Amino acid sequence: MRYGQAPEVLRDIDLRLTPGSFHFLTGASGAGKSSLLKLIYIAAKPSGGHLRIFDHDILTTPRTELPFLRRRIGVVFQEFHLLDHLTAFDNVALPLRIVGQKLEQYQSDVIELLDWVGLGERLWAYPPTLSGGEKQRLSIARAVVTKPDILLADEPTGNVDHAMALRILRLLVELNRMGTTVVIASHDQDLVARSGMPVLHLEHGRLSTQPAAAPRQFPDDFDTFPQTGIL
Amino acid sequence: MTAVEDRGPDPAASILPAQDGRDLGLVFTVAVLSFLACIAVIAALAADRAAQGWARQLSDSATIQVRPLGGETGPEAAARAAEAVAGVKGVAEARAMDRKSAEALLEPWLGKGNIPADLPLPQLVTVDLTPDHPASVADLNRALAAAHVSAAVDDHSRWMADVRTSGNVVRLSAAIACLLIATAAGSVVAFATRQGLAARRDVVEVLHLCGAEDQFVARLFQMRFAALATRASAYGALAAAAVGAILRLTGGTDGFSPALPIAWTDLLACLAAPALGAVVAALSARSVAMAILREQV
Ligand SMILES: Nc1ncnc2c1ncn2[C@@H]1O[C@H](COP(=O)(O)OP(=O)(O)O)[C@@H](O)[C@H]1O
Ligand SMILES: [Mg+2]
């Protein structure tokens, strides 16, 4: 793919995401991680080749059908893209309001989800008053509230300290265990290595795959993260 | 879920950020347009009423101009003519106009006391017709001929046509004015929608990526501008109704009222403005928003 007339930022990409898989997407800054994710969450179209999402060829799918594909993909944006004039609660409720749910339908789900990401006490706070880690978790809550089939997270641990990074990673692994296909873009080599998860590596616009490495080296309490019934 | 801050869930929480003060200019513009449209309609209704009044007066009467034959004075001929047509079916009353009345008709043009006593004035007979089955010009001519009176009958049909034409012109002008005003209102709303979409590109992008259809996004702008236009049109309509009421109250018989007889019911036309404004704004905002959104990925 390319931006306007600029040179291609991604080429010869051959990637197939198996449902239920978990991948890290690594590469230096500017390698094209965000661009690849954008292709997958249909915010950009490839300048060549084929892109099939949920068995729909994106280049030929009518524009009016794309929203229904996007609803099956949750995205944690690098810059969050939270709406500053809405409370944490209303930010998370947004995808549900878009699909036409009423307050009575989504209220308890949204509150439970915000509880799960540790924002149970910040329900009515506005994003500008939240810390980086809180915004990150709010953004994750919004991405998963519709129970998407795929979750894409762009540098979800980029703005937080190590303890918070682990906490966020746990949330994402937990989601994967519940069946969600997860792709996490990150340049935090240490975190990626410690997780032992399969890695997709971008360099010079090309993608290489590294299978799952050593067994997980997360802290002991990692597996005891509380289960939740809503997802 | 413990310490809840000062507010709870707000099902109406506006997905578009609240007004930015930028909308003030739009409110003012739409209010002015609504005011002008209401004034145009009120004026048209009143003018129509005036035209109908004139038309009724004209159609209910005829004028006969009598030419005295040799050996007969003007008033004598006029009296004979009046007598001749008075019996015709469809005539309610026929009166020879005396010199004083004829002079009174000329006064506005020549001035009081400026009419020389020997100025030859036309001998006129005014005929009131029965409104249901008015006598035709032919009926009157036949009666006059039978009585050997030389006269020309004017049933005012020429004036009637003029009155009717001017009534149509007023109506058409008001309709065109309203159409132009609606178009102008639509254009300013279209412009504001384009601006709003550009200013809120971030929000629109988030909505799209969260799976919103174009209709969902367009509806947000449609609702916002419909609400704004309803409010603004109501202001304009209220102002127009106030002006109409003042004209109605101060018009009097010597004021505007004879020319522009505003009725209280005319002011009811203003009630339609908010709804029409909302419809125009909604249609305009929706079509512009849909067109712009279709251009995006
Ligand atoms: N919106 C854009 N317009 C033009 N070029 C862009 C845009 N976004 C990214 N790029 C370019 O594409 C390349 C890859 O960027 P990106 O996908 O953001 O990389 P990463 O997320 O790995 O840091 C960079 O060279 C960047 O400058
Ligand atoms: Mg990036």
Phi then psi dihedrals of residue A102, to 5 deg: -95, 160
Smallest Cα distance from B275 to chain A, Å: 27
Considering the segment(s) A23-34+68-187 as one domain, its CATH architecture is 3-Layer(aba) Sandwich (3.40)
Burial class of residue B109 (count of CB atoms within 10 Å of its CB; 0-12, 13-18, 19+): exposed
Confidence grade of residue B13 (pLDDT, cut at 50, 70, 90)? low
Q: Which residues of B touch A146 (CB under 8 A)?
A: 211
Q: Does A103 touch chain B (CB under 8 A)?
A: yes
* Closest atom of ligand 1 to CA, residue A154: 21
Q: Which segment, A58-62, B33-37, B68-72, is predicted with the most confidence on average?
A: B33-37
Rounded distance between C-alpha atoms, residue B277 and residue B282, angstroms? 8
- pLDDT tens-digit readout, B169-187: 988 999 999 999 999 999 9
Residue keyed to tokens 């019996």: B87
Which conformational region is residue B38 in: left (phi greater than 0), alpha (psi within -120 to 50 degrees), or beta?
A: alpha
Please check whether residue B62 lies inside any domain of the structure: no
pLDDT, average across residues A5-14:
82
The pLDDT assigned to A166 comes to 85
pLDDT digits (tens, 9 = 90+) for B121-164: 778 888 888 878 888 888 888 888 888 888 888 888 778 888 88
Q: Rounded mean pLDDT of chain B?
A: 85
Q: Are residues B142 and B165 in the same domain?
A: no
Q: In this complex, do A123 and B207 lie within 8 Å of one another by their Cβ atoms?
A: no
pTM reported for the whole predicted model:
0.79
Which of B39 and A213 is assigned the larger pLDDT?
B39
Q: How confident is the model at residue B3 (pLDDT cuts 50, 70, 90)?
A: very low
Q: How many angstroms separate the CA atoms of B11 and A168, rounded?
A: 29
The ligand placed nearest to the CA atom of residue A33 is: 1
Look at residues B117, B148, B179 and tell me which one is the last residue of a structural domain.
B148
- Separation of first and last alpha carbons in chain A: 34
For the Cβ of A9 lying below 6 angstroms from any atom of ligand 1, the answer is yes
Which of B148, B183, B215 terminates a domain? The answer is: B148
Same domain, B125 and B203: no
Chain B CB contacts of A45 under 8 Å are 297
Read off the pLDDT of residues A105-120 as tens digits, 9 standing for 90 and up: 999 999 999 998 889 9
Nearest to B45 by CA among B237, B238, B175, B234: B175
Instruction: With beta carbons under 8 A apart, name residues in chain A contacting B199.
Output: none
Q: Is the CB of A122 under 6 A from ligand 1?
A: no
What are the CB-based long-range contacts (under 8 Å, 24+) for A159-167? A159/A132, A159/A133, A159/A135, A160/A132, A160/A133, A160/A136, A161/A133, A164/A133, A164/A136, A165/A191, A166/A191, A166/A218, A166/A219, A166/A222, A167/A118, A167/A133
Confidence grade of residue A226 (pLDDT, cut at 50, 70, 90) = very low
Cβ–ligand 1 contact at A35 (below 6 Å): yes
Whole-number Å distance between alpha carbons of B223 and B218: 9
> pLDDT tens, B223-251?
999 999 999 999 999 999 999 999 888 87
Cα A94 from Cα A113, distance rounded (Å): 13
Q: Is the CB of A6 under 6 A from ligand 1?
A: yes
Burial A42-72 (b: 16+ CB within 10 A, else e): bbbeeeeeebebeebebeebeeeebbebbbe
Q: How many CB atoms lie within 10 A of CB B95?
A: 15
Q: How many domains is chain B partitioned into structurally? A: 2
Atom of ligand 1 nearest to the CA of A78: 21
Do the domain assignments include residue B142? yes
Q: Are residues B211 and B134 in the same domain?
A: no
Length of chain A: 231
B211 to A43: CB separation less than 8 angstroms, yes or no: no
Collapsing DSSP to helix, strand or coil, B10 comes out as coil
CB contact (8 A) between residue A120 and residue B2: yes
Q: How far apart are CA B47 and CA B182, in angstroms?
A: 22
Which pairing describes strands B150-154 and A56-57: parallel, antiparallel, or unpaired? unpaired
For ligand 1, is residue A33 a contact (CB within 6 Å)? Answer: yes
Confidence class for position B6, pLDDT limits 50, 70, 90: low
**Which ligand is the nearest neighbour of the Cα of A155?**
2
Q: Which of B122, B148, B174 is the last residue of a domain?
A: B148
A3 lines ligand 1 (CB under 6 A): yes
Nearest to B18 among A63, A68, A85 (CB): A85
Which atom of ligand 1 lies at the shortest distance from residue A35's CA?
A: 17
- Whole-angstrom distance, CA of residue A182 vs CA of residue A151: 5
Under 8 Å between Cβ of A71 and A148: yes
Q: Does the CB atom of residue A205 touch ligand 1 within 6 A?
A: no
The mean pLDDT value of chain A amounts to 86
* pLDDT score, position B1: 40
Q: Which residues of A touch B294 (CB under 8 A)?
A: 63
Distance from CA of B16 to the nearest CA of A (A): 8
Could you tell me if B167 and B33 lie in one domain? yes
Q: Is B186 a member of any domain?
A: yes
B77 and B211 part of one domain: no
Inside any domain, residue B18: yes
B247, B256 Cβ separation under 8 angstroms? yes
Boundaries of domain holding B268: 3-55+161-296
Does the pLDDT value for residue A14 go beyond 50? yes
Ligand that lies nearest to the alpha carbon of residue A29, given by its number in the listed order: 1
Whether B19 shows a pLDDT value over 70: the answer reads no
Same domain, B175 and B290: yes
Distance A29 CA to ligand 1 centre (A): 9
- Residue B257 pLDDT: 65
Quick one: tokens of B95? 């009166």
The owner of tokens 């869930």 is: B9
CB contact under 8 A, A64 and B213: yes
Q: Which whole number is the average pLDDT over A204-227?
A: 60
The answer as to whether B284 is a domain residue is yes
Mutate to test the interface with B, among A97, A116, A130 (most CBs of B within 10 A): A97
- What is the SS3 string spanning chain A? CECCCCCECCCCCCCCCCCCCEEEEECCCCCCHHHHHHHHCCCCCCCCCCCEECCEECCCCCHHHHHHHHCCEEEECCCCCCCCCCCHHHHHHHHHHHCCCCHHHHHHHHHHHHHHCCCCCCCCCCHHHCCHHHHHHHHHHHHHCCCCCEEEEECCCCCCCHHHHHHHHHHHHHHHHCCCEEEEECCCHHHHHHHCCCEEEEECCEEEEECCCCCCCCCHHHHHCCCCCCC
The percent of residues in chain A predicted with pLDDT above 90, rounded, is 48
Chain A residues with CB under 8 Å of B202 CB are 81
Tell me the average pLDDT across B283-295: 93
Q: Which residue has a Cα nearest atom 7 of ligand 1?
A: A3
Which of A45, A83, A121 lies nearest to residue B3, judging by beta carbons?
Answer: A121
Distance CA A175, CA A116 (A): 11
Query: Helix A88-98 vs helix A132-144: angle between axes, to the nearest 10 degrees?
Result: 20
Q: Does A121 touch chain B (CB under 8 A)?
A: yes
Structure confidence at residue A220 (pLDDT): 47
Residues B219 and B290 in one domain: yes
Non-local (6+) Cβ contacts of B142 within 8 A are: none
| Chain B residues within an 8 Å CB radius of A75 | 209
Nearest to A115 among B1, B5, B211 (CB): B1
Structure ipTM: 0.88
Are B194 and B285 contained in the same domain? yes
pLDDT in tens, A78-102: 999 999 999 999 999 999 999 999 9
A95 within ligand 1 shell (Cβ under 6 A): no
Residue A87 near residue A114 (C-beta atoms within 8 A): no
Q: How far is CA A39 from CA A54, A70, A176, in A?
A: 13, 11, 21
Q: What is the pLDDT of residue A230?
A: 43
Q: Span A131-156, mean pLDDT?
A: 93
